[in-house]
Structure 1
């Protein structure tokens, strides 16, 4: 029996390696296409970076030409593209036009606040969506199902910037004599204390932007989880468990929910990829010093190197997370392995 098990396990292991290698090859091809698209996409944006940077400064045409040559914008598009590809292969994202600093340094400074905000929002949205989706799908048509699904769909359809501005007006700016309950901008106060007081101050600043992100995202997890649980309720093993006299809560928690979680895995990993990029709209509204706000500021110039670097980081993160999700799904679900 041991010999047979080892013989069966070997092909399964080789199958997983072949599957992972195929997915990795597809991810590399996607990244290569993203590199090409990233360069040409931002060159199509209107505006001249040199003239934008020269605003408020009396620069002659000759000085503008010198600045354009310093930034490498005097070269032809093919020459700029080859230079960009060469830098990318060396893991060099160039120097920002506006900040005059390496793009990697700017990303390193901003990625911490972004991961803090979007990572916290992701954990809260996933937890809330899975919990509500499991309960709603277990008893479809119930009052809880109708209420939670309706609220999540309404929030999902609300524009993110509108919800963020609304929360700012109600809870930050205050209404009439009622003072604002939360800060309007930034990650911390200027006079924030050290130690645990600083942690509380950052958490206070996170409430509104985090609430905005959770409100517009958690419906995805709720709907996917609800649909998965609805499918599991019709399965024979649920009927058998009920016939054995098991409690409904135990059946849902120990049997239905673990099996229904599989489709949610892919969605969660996709959102993890977007966590790195932050939320451009939310970070811009609340002046959160993350990658989203950095990308927004780069678009306003336009700062080609900074836009290329941040956009490339976001897209590569999403591609890698999608690839990892496919491999994990292949491991968790035997029905995928049998295809």
Structure 2
């Protein structure tokens, strides 16, 4: 009689085709974890693809409900016959049925062709590529500063919650979070560019450069122009990161593992840095990646107020026509950046917390 058929006899692990580890368990569990993670990744990729398609649909129909005729806007102030306007509509495909316009738009967008601008008569992709460096410079510096500042102040406020520093930080953050960015930008221009009372005008009111500098002087000139828009973005943006980090860390403060860490004799600073903060970072990771998504989108209002030559200013110009290919292309770029950053955050979660994705 074989061992496998004898009641009460345990088979040797080497005879088990499924369990390959010494005890049969660890390697099987590791395989299961890898399979679970791959399924988790596949689900997130599928969700991102669906979201991107929804963005394409939204970007096409949303901007077609805006009042105004693009052809009339392009020919405003110019003597144009009805035949010429009909030719322009045919040239830009505006005479086609809506469903045909939509299918052609989706087919081209999936290949990277975002169309030709009505206003600038240039490929939308080239216009966006031309403006990207200015937006990445401005919003990239601002996001780096306010994410770091928000994490640091949020951690300190939560760890010493109820104190004077916590009350001041939270009050300032709530106030700045409720302030419209364009209003704060205009206030910055009035106070620090035009000058008011004893405060002289110290910074340019708009633009990215003076136009007559080269070399290191050019770098200083750009940095000088960046001060007010960056301060505006930081003042409005750091508050959200601070409040999310503070809330997450407060949820961890009463956990048993922190009490155990203190009972082992660890210093309070080590308990915070090694145990509390890493476990409180998960919601804040989402916030940081959303902020990174904003790097591509920029800030339309702030760039417009400070006449910054980036994607936000281009979007405002195109929306006023309306230049449909440009606003659609920018909408896809902005939303696509957010989808990508959220996807990266979702893929990072299991590395921070192994319970995610099981």
For normalisation by structure 2, the TM-score amounts to 0.90
Unaligned segments of structure 1, at least 5 residues: none
Q: Distance in 1 between matches of 2:251 and 2:199?
A: 48
Is 1:247 matched up with 2:267? yes
Return the offset for 1:122: 0.8
* Shift of residue 295, structure 1, vs aligned partner: 0.7
Q: 1:68 and 2:85 equivalent?
A: no
Counterpart mapping for 1:1-339 below 5 A: 4-175=25-196, 178-192=199-213, 194-338=214-358
| SS of match in other structure, 2:355 | helix
Find the aligned partners of 2:136 and 2:27 in 1 and give their Cα distance: 43
Q: Give the superposition deviation at 1:68.
A: 1.8
1:61 Cα offset (Å): 2.0
Question: Does the Cα contact within 8 Å between 1:266 and 1:329 map onto a contact in 2?
Answer: no
Q: What's the CA shift string for 1:181-224, capped at 9, x where partnerless?
A: 111111111112x2222221111111111111111111111111
What do the CA deviations read for 1:125-146 (whole angstroms, capped 9, x no partner)? Answer: 1111111110110111100000
Deviation, 1:332, is 1.5
Query: Which shifted more, 155-164 or 176-185?
Result: 176-185
Structure 2, gaps ≥5 residues long: 1-20
Q: Match for residue 8 of structure 2? A: none
- Aligned positions, number: 337
Once residues 90 and 115 of structure 1 are traced to their aligned partners in structure 2, the CA distance between those partners, rounded to angstroms, is: 24
Residue 62 and residue 332 in structure 1: after superposition, are their counterparts in 2 closer, same or farther (change >3 A)? same
Cα distance in 1, alignment partners of residues 180 and 172 from structure 2: 15
Measure the CA separation in 2 of the matches of 1:283 and 1:51.
27
Greater helix fraction, Structure 1 or Structure 2: 1
Instruction: Indicate if the aligned counterparts of 2:41 and 2:347 stay in contact, CA closer than 8 A.
Output: yes
